[in-house]
Every structure is written in C-alpha cells, then in structure tokens.
Structure 1
Amino acid sequence: MDFFTAQDHARRKTGHLVILLILAVLALIAVTTLVIAIAVHLMGGVQPSGPPGSPQTVDLSVQGLASALTFELVAGVAAVVLAIVVLGSLFKQMQLSRGGRAVAEALGGREINLNTRDADERRILNVVEEMAIASGTPVPSVYVLEDESINAFAAGHRPGNAVIGITRGTIRNLTREELQGVVAHEFSHIMHGDMRLNMRLVSVLHGILVIGLLGGTLLRSMRYRRIGGGRRDNSAVAILGMGAALMLIGYAGTFFGNLIKSAVSRQREYLADASAVQFTRNPQGIGGALVKVGTHTRGSYLEAAQAAEFSHLFFGQGLRLGFNRMMATHPPIEDRIKRVMPDWDGRFQVTWPTAQAETETASEDSAKDSAKSARTVGMMAGAAVLTGASARSAIGAMGQPDQRHLDLARATLDALPESIRTAAHEPFAARALMYALLLSQDREVRARQLQSLEQAALPDVYRELQHHAQEVLLLDDQLRLPLVELALPALKSLSEEQARHFRHCMGLLIKADGQVSLFEWTLYQMLLHNMSERDTGSANRKLKDLQPECQVLLSVLAAAGQDDPAEIHAALHAAEKELPFALAPTEEPPGMGALNQAVEKLRRLRPLQKPALLKAMARCIEHSGEIRPAEAELFRAVADMLDCPMPPLLTE
C-alpha cells in the first residue's frame, strides 16, 4: 500500500468508525431509554392487588412498560445521552489539543533533554533524528517513560505535533538496530495516518465511557441514602437501579468501542511491522525487538494508570489480557515475528547484552556508519547533481523510505559541524541558527539585518547568533533544510509568547531588503507550519477545483528553475501533463503572498488528489535536467505543508 492509498484508507476508516460508533451510541440510547422506562414504571406503576392493607405488586406487563415508553421520554433520553457523549468527547479532545505531548504527559512521560548526557537517551535521540530526516517528517520530540517493560508509541494529530514515547526498558535492553526497527515502526504510524486515527478514537471512546462514569457517581451518591421498604423508598431503589444500569450501559459501550479499536489496531500493526522492515532493510531489527518483548519478564505491559485509554497506540500489547483475548489491541507476538522473520524457530531465546558488549557493538556500528557517511558526504560535496529522476524517486518513496535514505540522513547529520548540531538542540541557539539562515550574503543588507535584530532579539539569542553566524553562512545549500528539521524539537518547546517574538524577529530579517526571496518564504512557512496548530479544515477538495492555485505554485516553481521565459513556459507545459487541466503561460511569476494563499488552499486536497500535484511539480523540476537548491527546497517544503513526508532527494 503506497503512502497516498494508506492516507486515504485511514481517512475512509475514520468514516467507517464514525458509523459504527454512531450505532453504538444508538444502542446506548435504546438501552438507557428502556432502563429509565422501567424506573419510571417502578416509581409510578405500583398497583394494589387486593383489599386495602394487603401486599402490593408491581405491574411489569408488556402493556404497562409500553405505556411508559412515550415519545417525549425517548426524545429526552436521546438528547441527554447524545449531550453526554458529545461533551465527553469534546472534553477529551480539548485535553489532547496539544497533540502527542498531552498523551506522553498523561502516561507519565518526561521529555528527553536534547543535550542529555545519558548514553541511552543520546542513542535514542540519534536514532529518531536519523529516521525523521530519512523519512522527510519533522523531527518529533522524544519522551521517556520510566517503565522497565519494552514498549513505545507515536502520538499526535499530524506529523508537526507528533511525539515518540519510549520506555526505559526499551532503550536499555535493545541494540541500536532493534531500536531502529521499533522507531521505524512508529514512524510508519505517523506517515500513514494511523496516529491521527488513533487520537480520534481516544476522544470518541471517552464520550461513551462518560456514561459509565455517571453511573458510578450515582451509585456513590447512594452511600448517604437509606433504602428501606415502603412506597416512598421507590425513588431510592430507582436511582440505585439506574446507577447500576448506567455503569453497565457505559461499560458495554466502551466494550463495543474497544472491539472496534482492537480490530483496526491489529491490522495496522502488521502494516507498520512490514514498513519497518522496508525502511531499515533489516528484519532482524524489528524481529529481534519483538523476540525480546516475548522474553522479557515484564514483556510490553505498562504500569501507567492511563495505559488502558491509549492501549491501541503502543508498539506492543500494553495491558495484561487474562482470558479476554477479544480485547487485544495487537496481534499475537508470535504471528508478528513470523511475518518479519519467516525462519524464526519459535523459541524466545535471546542473549541480553552486557554493558561491555553493548559498548563494543556500538563502537563497531559507529565505525561502519562513519565509513558509509564518509562515502555519502563525498557525494554530497562532489559534482553529483539532483535530476528529475531524484524528484520522481522521492515521490515513490513517500511513506516507504529505504536504507539509502537512512544512509543519506546519517551522512547529512555527520556533515553538519558538531557545534551546529549541538546548538540546534538548545532553544536559544536554535532560534539563532534560524536567524543566521536568513542573513543575506550581501554585506550591506546583512548589516541592516543585524542592526534591527540587535534591538529586537533577546540578548542571549543575539550572542548565539554572533557565535554561529559565520559557520551557518558557509553551510552547503543541501544542509539548510536538514538543519531546520533538526532544530524543530527545540523550537516547538517555545512558549506561545516566545514563538510570537521569534516570528516577529524573523519578519524583521526578511523585510530588511524590501523583498521576500523564495528561500525566505520556504523557511518561514516550514517553521510556521510545524510550530503552530493551524487547521487545514476538511481534506475534501479536488485538484480541478484548485486550478488557479496550481497555476500559482507551478509558475513560482518554474521560475525558480529557469531564467529564460521560453524555458519557464516549457516547464509549465511539461507539468500540465500530470494535471486534468492546462496551465496558462505567465509573463511574471506570482509574488510570495499569492504563493502563500495558494498553498493554504492546496493543503485541503484529498489524499488521492495530491500525487498528481507532486508529480506535476517533479515534471516542472526535471525539465531543465537538474534541480537547483531553491527548487528542491520549495518542492520538499510544499510537500511538508501538504503533510506528505518527502524523503531527501537522492543523487544519481
């Protein structure tokens, strides 16, 4: 399943789940109505069965109950149940509005300091950074759960606010290649839309659970009431019965929702395992991690109080099931291992590495990685060029990166000076690096930029800028976007006020020369997209409905790759072969304001409408035979803003 089909499948699955959950709510309404009808009948339907003073009986005949089921009762119960479910879901949705951070903190996670000295934490951060750059997704923040089990999760509404959570037992007990397998599995959930679907499930299921919680509240209130015989105690009996019924109804609804959640999660786990193998080209990575889960004394079971609520997000089964196998959110671990390692003998036997062996293995892996990186860095610094094939290859690899992209990501990180990599992990210095990327090569313009920034920027940030500016100015163009991606976790940790001031200072730098360059627009929009919670609205637009926006985007892209007007027109003509409409030749490329408005509307494209646009962009790029840095940056930035993770473009 390719990236766009997976995204569309996740979107359609959301619709199917909504239908099933609506049916569950309707069942709740029906059962609740029946319970309340019985309660009303009990409170008002006691009939004398003999002469005065003789025992009284309750008429529970069908006719008697039917008389209590009035339209007003059904409508009122439906309105109350719907209100409870909707308000409960909205409340949970508000709690999760911060994306993956809210989930990680609810599970007791702690964000790993990007400049941590802990060797285990440093190793997992390196793996996550490599995977993110190789897959073209923003580098997510990493949270550690102080739990000795082997488990992990990805959470967030979209790649820009995703986090990776991982237990202490995972980073302590797995080798580097096994960590790569686990992290690649979680990146598959991020790229293929599973993460967004899982977050929606959390909110909706909480709405159903609220009914059971309300029943529990009613039962607890009965502690202070005395229940005895006689007619005047019927109300207390009814409240007690209603509380117990609401608890049963609520948990029945949750059970039904969990069955839906489990059915979806099990299939997506198989797909994520397969993606991890394709990404790393190493079945032993994810397979070895799964074998260790089956061998470990704690397995993948978490102790976090809210683990049940987020059980479908985890890498492995987070809860002990006992006899209730129907509620498993993950396939049997034996089946998962067999799928990625068909030759597995079925025995859970592993050799747990000692600290010395782990250090030696890490040194060997580092030496191998350095040798690979040296070769790739040589290609990056040499005469190799990005061609049209590079763009088409990147589109084909979206959601399915492979070992070549991982090698290039390692090489890219190695090519960045150590001082720059360290600075990208610190919020003050990360802001300074972004300012440095906007500094002009023209000395006069740069002097005006520095003067305005000295007055506006925080003193500590300005000092960091002076320290790193020259080094950033000398960076190869191919390292600019990776540096932005590397700095994102530190920038996303800024408060709302700090982020606002950061954007203001960037605006001053951009406006210093009175015009907005293509790179300035690209950098600003990438940061804005990944640091904010801008909602695109529903993704329901077709490409043919956005012809003017496509015209603007492709005109800017064509002008970035060609200087001759005739070649610009030829590039547009090549691009329109992938589109359901023709493109008009333009005398002057549109401005950055028009480009911004166009991309905002194009973000609402349906998943299966996006490939045509990206292929049109690739056609436009390949027309000249090679890709300029400005073209490559715009190509990948637009893909990022469309929430399409574009892997690095590979050289021939």
Structure 2
Amino acid sequence: MKRVFLFLATNLAIIVVLSITLRLLGVERILDEQGVGLDLNALLIFSAVIGFGGSLISLMISKWTARHMTGAQVIERPRDATEQWLLETVQRQARQAGIPMPQVAIYDSPDINAFATGPSKRSSLVAVSTGLLRGMRREEAEAVLAHEVSHVANGDMVTLALIQGVVNTFVIFLSRVIGHLVDRVVFKVERGHGPAFWITAIIAEIVLGILASAIVMWFSRRREFRADAGGAQLAGRGAMIAALERLRQSVDRPHLPDQMAAFGISGQIGQGLKRLFMSHPPLEERIAALKAAQQ
C-alpha cells in the first residue's frame, strides 16, 4: 500500500511549504488585483505552477524516499540463491513487459508485501519484504513481482503525478478563493489581504488536500486492477490469483510505515467513508475480477 500514501503525504507537505515560502517572499502579492480583489487568471497560473511543482518534486524523489522509509537495500550483487532468483525474475519480466531493468531491493519486514516506485520506467525500483520471501511459494512471489513490474510498465507513478498535479491546482485555487471570501465577508478587509486570508487559505489547503486525495485514491484503485491483469499476463492468471489468495489468508497485517502504505500490493481494508481513501480495492474484488476474466 506504500507508494501512493507516501506520494500524497510528500506532495501535500511540499505544496504547503512552497505556499508559505512564496508568501514570506511576497510572491503571492501578484494575486491581488489593484489591491481590491483576486486576479483569478494569475491565481490559476500560480496554482498550476505550485500544484504541478509539488507533484513532480514528489515524483522525482519517490524512489529515494521509499528506500529510506523502508530501509530497503538495493541488490547490487546477489549474495545468495534467493537474491539471484529475484534479479533474474525481474529481469525476465521487465524484458517481457518491454521496459528497462528496474533496481531490485529487499526490506526487512514480517508482512507479505512488495512495492514498485520511481519517476520513470528508466528509473524504477521494485522492492519485496523478507516476509514475502519467507511466506510465499516461488510461483506466488513471481506473480507479485509481475504485478509490480506491470505498475512500472503502465507508468502508474507518472499517471498518479499528473492526476495529483491537477488536483493540487484546484485545491490551491479554491483555498485562496475561500481565504479571500473570509477576509472580505467576515473580517471586512477592503484592500489587500489580512492575516485571516493566509491562515484560512493554509487551513483550507490542508483540508481540501485531504478530501481531494479521495479522487487520487479512486484512480489508484483502478490502476490496481490493471496491474493485476498485467501480472496475470506475465506470470499466469492462476499464479496471480494464488498470490492474492495468499495475501488474503495471511494472518499478519501489513507492517509498512503508514506513509508508505499505498505502495504495497496487499492494500488495506476499509468500510464506509474509509473506503474512499483506500489505495487498493479489497483483495476479494481483485480475485473476483481475475476469475471473471478467465471465463
């Protein structure tokens, strides 16, 4: 579950920091129209620059962040037969998928999980947990690797970054509009902007950013079905179904850091409103989709 949640958290932190920094530098004054109201055209351009900037920065550092959050160790030279098998499997699958060989890493965790991340197909990382290597048969682990390679081949991180950039743009734009209305209607500021504008805008930016993440999570759930289908093509539909069944039956819940939760294959369980913020569909739905495609 890791990839998406970490990306969203990093992105939100970046745009808030950028917004505060630009405010302190006085750059946001260009949004004032003759000191009376907002220049909506300038605001939209400003929002797009900051919104896509935060998203793209998050994308560029995604691989570095993932490695440091999980303590994943990239395999430079295989030290044993398991690491040799990992490298050979990912290399074969990458060749089948038509992408450059990703870096392969292992991180120490008891849960059965894996993730793929990186800013591009040419600079990607596939990492698996020690729990996965101990708790899955080879054909199941191969299917999990195929799922992650499919994420890379499908360009899911880049797609996510573009979607997040659009969402960021509207979040920043609307937060400034809300701040302007509070400043004018509640505090009766007639020219320029008072402290209420900036405080309200930052709070609205955080709240809207969290709510807007539901949109990004919806796209993430759609991409999981596609990655499952890609994994089935690379490793076999039966193996992909067996791997998801193994995840579903696993007693251990994911132990990935919360910020990395959306990166892994196993996803999370949620009901009601919580389901809106799930990065992965329930495993039962993913298994059902693969079985339905068999018929």
**Which TM-score applies when normalising by structure 1?**
0.33
Instruction: Tell me, yes or no, if the aligned pair for 1:211 and 1:250 is still in contact at 8 Å.
Output: no
Query: Tell me, what secondary structure is at the counterpart of 1:143?
Result: strand
- 1:139 equivalenced with 2:101 (yes/no): yes
Aligned residue type for 1:329: S
Of 256, 259, 274, the residue aligned with 1:302 is 256
Match of 1:292 in 2: 246
C-alpha separation between the residues in 2 aligned to 1:265 and 1:200? 12
1:110-167 deviation digits (Å, cap 9, x = unpaired): 3422323255444322321221233332211013333333332222343211221323
- 1:332 equivalenced with 2:282 (yes/no): yes
Instruction: Tell me, yes or no, if the aligned pair for 2:75 and 2:105 is still in contact at 8 Å.
Output: no
C-alpha separation between the residues in 2 aligned to 1:318 and 1:124? 25
Deviation at residue 277 of structure 1 after TM alignment? 1.8
Aligned residue type for 2:241: G
Of 232, 242, 248, the residue aligned with 1:277 is 232
Pairing 1:347-366 to 2, within 5 Å after superposition:
none
Pairing 1:80-91 to 2, within 5 Å after superposition:
82-83=45-46, 86-87=49-50, 89-91=52-54
Match of 2:207 in 1: 251
- 1:114 equivalenced with 2:93 (yes/no): no
Question: Percent of aligned pairs with the same residue?
Answer: 25
C-alpha separation between the residues in 2 aligned to 1:242 and 1:184? 47
C-alpha separation between the residues in 1 aligned to 2:247 and 2:104? 21
Rg larger in 1 or in 2?
Answer: 1
Query: Tell me, what secondary structure is at the counterpart of 2:106?
Result: strand
C-alpha separation between the residues in 2 aligned to 1:183 and 1:270? 15
Compare relative contact order (CA 8 Å, sep 6+) and give the higher one, 1 or 2. 2
Aligned length: 245
Pairing 1:183-582 to 2, within 5 Å after superposition:
183-201=145-163, 239=195, 243-244=199-200, 246-256=202-212, 258-283=213-238, 285-300=239-254, 302-304=256-258, 306-307=259-260, 311=262, 313-317=263-267, 323-341=273-291
Q: Summarize the Cα distance change of 1:113–1:143 in structure 2 as closer, same or farther, 3 Å threshold.
A: closer
Of 167, 176, 184, the residue aligned with 2:138 is 176
Aligned residue type for 1:286: M
Deviation at residue 197 of structure 1 after TM alignment? 0.7
Match of 1:617 in 2: none
Query: Tell me, what secondary structure is at the counterpart of 1:162?
Result: strand
1:204-242 deviation digits (Å, cap 9, x = unpaired): 55667779999xxxxxxxxxxxxxxxx9xxxxxx74685
Q: Summarize the Cα distance change of 1:147–1:180 in structure 2 as closer, same or farther, 3 Å threshold.
A: same
C-alpha separation between the residues in 2 aligned to 1:92 and 1:152? 23
Q: CA RMSD in A?
A: 3.8
C-alpha separation between the residues in 1 aligned to 2:175 and 2:38? 22
C-alpha separation between the residues in 2 aligned to 1:252 and 1:95? 18
Q: Summarize the Cα distance change of 1:83–1:318 in structure 2 as closer, same or farther, 3 Å threshold.
A: farther
Q: Summarize the Cα distance change of 1:182–1:212 in structure 2 as closer, same or farther, 3 Å threshold.
A: farther
Unaligned runs of 5+ in 1: 1-68, 215-230, 232-237, 343-652
Instruction: Tell me, yes or no, if the aligned pair for 1:141 and 1:162 is still in contact at 8 Å.
Output: yes
Match of 2:86 in 1: 124
Query: Tell me, what secondary structure is at the counterpart of 2:38?
Result: helix
Instruction: Tell me, yes or no, if the aligned pair for 2:164 and 2:216 is still in contact at 8 Å.
Output: no
Query: Tell me, what secondary structure is at the counterpart of 1:324?
Result: helix
Q: Summarize the Cα distance change of 1:243–1:85 in structure 2 as closer, same or farther, 3 Å threshold.
A: farther
**Which TM-score applies when normalising by structure 2?**
0.66
Deviation at residue 174 of structure 1 after TM alignment? 1.6
C-alpha separation between the residues in 2 aligned to 1:112 and 1:118? 14
C-alpha separation between the residues in 2 aligned to 1:104 and 1:323? 27
C-alpha separation between the residues in 1 aligned to 2:109 and 2:92? 25
Instruction: Tell me, yes or no, if the aligned pair for 2:268 and 2:278 is still in contact at 8 Å.
Output: no
Deviation at residue 303 of structure 1 after TM alignment? 1.4
- 1:160 equivalenced with 2:160 (yes/no): no
Deviation at residue 87 of structure 1 after TM alignment? 2.8
Question: Which has the larger strand fraction?
Answer: 2
